[in-house]
Structure 1
Amino acid sequence: MAGGKDSVIDQLLHHRTLRRWAAAARAAKDTDLRQLRRERGRARKLKHHLDTLIHVAESRLALPIVGNQAFPRPHDSDWGWRPELWCGPLASPGGSSVQSKTMLGHEVTLFHDCRHSELTLRQLRNTREADLAAFGLRMDVFRFDGSYLSLAIDLPEEASRDLRRKHLIRVETIVEREKPLEIFARLNIKNGPNTEQIVRELPLHEDEIMVEFDLAYTKLNEKRVERMWLDLIFEGPQMNQVILRDLTFSRRPRAEL
């Protein structure tokens, strides 16, 4: 029962289940293939529930608090959000020789045109006292033979709901890098057959790395807004390590004149 203590029977069932799966794992190399196929199916179903439990548990128990959506934002914001990669542990935290269109979680996708990928991506745990985000993203770039490298972050449906040209979209991040490079943020808004785009360079030399996108300078069709996403574009990334300690979004209406 949720919130209650395990009964003696629950504990006995738990230990019995552990012993059963431990024995199955030890015997797997010699198990009949038909039986092994059944065992694999059962294990996959069990793994799905275990992964969900672990994700939620680590989100609630770790510090900085995993799943935390709290961050400073303008007082008149009508929406704010931190992507899942910076909130909770991903089932697949990254990899090496990462290919284009590789996704980390459900919202972040890597794009590049390298013939030979020498890129690594890794979700890492933030432990600094100043960090509000529980996790960060580390990108190591070695030899780079491509012409572009970017991360695309899909914004949730709430970001586009009731979106108007009077809105300002704010993006804030914490960036660490081994060597100087330029990072550009491009906001994309799909509205009907058109996609409005606004580009800003991140002020990496400033203490507060923040950009705002003023939708008044677009030709946004407010009645046909479908979705939004942000591209982080890295210029000159070779032989560098970049860590995005945090990434947050907020939306607010521009002050009436």
Structure 2
Amino acid sequence: MAGIGEGWMGRALAAATLHRWSEAADKAETADLPLLRRQRSAARRLKQRLDRLIHVADGRLALPVIGNQAFPRPHDADWAWRPDLWSGPLATPGLSSVQPKSMLGERATLFHDCPHSEITLRQLRNTREADLAPFGLRLEVFRFDGAYLSLALDLPDEASQGLRRKHLIRLDAIVEMERPLEIFARLNIRHGPNTEQIVRELPLKAEESRVEFDLAYTRLNEKRIEHMWVDLIFEGPEMNQVILRDLTFSRRPRAEL
């Protein structure tokens, strides 16, 4: 209560209010029932307001700040991006018994071929001081009787603008999991009637993982680039929980030889 109000008068009033409620709580076991009933009603009204204040304060004061786009990136990067799923709250924060091609947010789509889905997806609030991303994504898989499970992330148009074969695309991720499993990242670039694909396995021995896609080894038609997306492919996900604390992309030109 001492944090309410400004000046000595506000602090004194808050201290008196706290003392009064503490005294009422101490005497609740022996208080007259009519008095106790009035105190209960008043306490419930106060609790509703306190809960609302705490909820708003937790959202505003928790680390990191919502909308944060700060993250380590190459000094010569000409494009960098953290998807909305990791940077801001979603209107629908979670899905259960997720069906194939279900979307979470505007750019994330889950693909699988399970006849009976026991898969859940949920956006969660990051509150660790070490986290730069405001939000994370939790994927839980119970029984899994399908052949594949992947999360497709559409990259914005800016990622394709000015894209050349001399570019390197980097993916950085912070991943937690209950049990070890393999996660592959596949970069897809549609150019005209063709789609170039580059697959890399995420090194998950450390919490922070990084892979790079070198476009020099593709047959990319730079004049016909239409769209880019990345598939995160989970191998053997049954009875596991994976939390993607952060996921970021960046693009930089390869150093000239």
Q: Which residue of 1 aligns with 2:70?
A: 70
Q: Which residue of 2 aligns with 1:124?
A: 124
Q: Which residue of 1 aligns with 2:249?
A: 249
Q: CA deviation at 1:115?
A: 0.2
Q: Which residue of 2 aligns with 1:35?
A: none
Q: CA deviation at 1:62?
A: 5.1
Amino acid in structure 2 at the alignment position of 1:196: E
Q: CA deviation at 1:208?
A: 3.3
1:58-114 C-alpha deviation (Å, 9 max, x unpaired): 997753111111100010000000000000110001121010111010010000000
Paired residue total: 201
1:1-30 C-alpha deviation (Å, 9 max, x unpaired): xxxxxxxxxxxxxxxxxxxxxxxxxxxxxx
Amino acid in structure 1 at the alignment position of 2:250: S
Say whether the 8 Å CA contact 1:59–1:88 is kept in structure 2: no
In structure 2, how many angstroms separate the alpha carbons of the residues matched to 1:245 and 1:83? Answer: 12
Q: Which residue of 1 aligns with 2:32?
A: none
Q: Structure 2 regions of 5+ residues with no counterpart?
A: 1-57
Structure-2-length-normalised TM-score:
0.76
1:183 has 2:171 as partner? no
Equivalent residues in 2 for 1:37-52 (5 A)?
A: none
Structure-1-length-normalised TM-score:
0.76
In structure 1, how many angstroms separate the alpha carbons of the residues matched to 2:244 and 2:232? Answer: 11
Amino acid in structure 2 at the alignment position of 1:72: P
Q: CA deviation at 1:207?
A: 4.7
1:175-234 C-alpha deviation (Å, 9 max, x unpaired): 000001000000000000000000000000135300000000000000000110000000
Amino acid in structure 2 at the alignment position of 1:136: G
Amino acid in structure 1 at the alignment position of 2:91: A
Say whether the 8 Å CA contact 2:63–2:128 is kept in structure 1: no
Q: Moved runs in structure 1, 4+ residues, more than 6 A?
A: 58-61
Could you say what secondary structure the match of 1:85 adopts? Answer: helix
In structure 1, how many angstroms separate the alpha carbons of the residues matched to 2:92 and 2:177? Answer: 24
In structure 2, how many angstroms separate the alpha carbons of the residues matched to 1:241 and 1:207? Answer: 15
Root mean square deviation, CA, Å? 1.5
Equivalent residues in 2 for 1:65-214 (5 A)?
A: 65-214=65-214
In structure 2, how many angstroms separate the alpha carbons of the residues matched to 1:144 and 1:234? Answer: 12
Say whether the 8 Å CA contact 1:202–1:210 is kept in structure 2: yes
Max radius of gyration: which structure? 2
1:222 and 1:60, CA in 2 relative to 1: closer, same or farther beyond 3 A? farther
Could you say what secondary structure the match of 2:223 adopts? Answer: helix
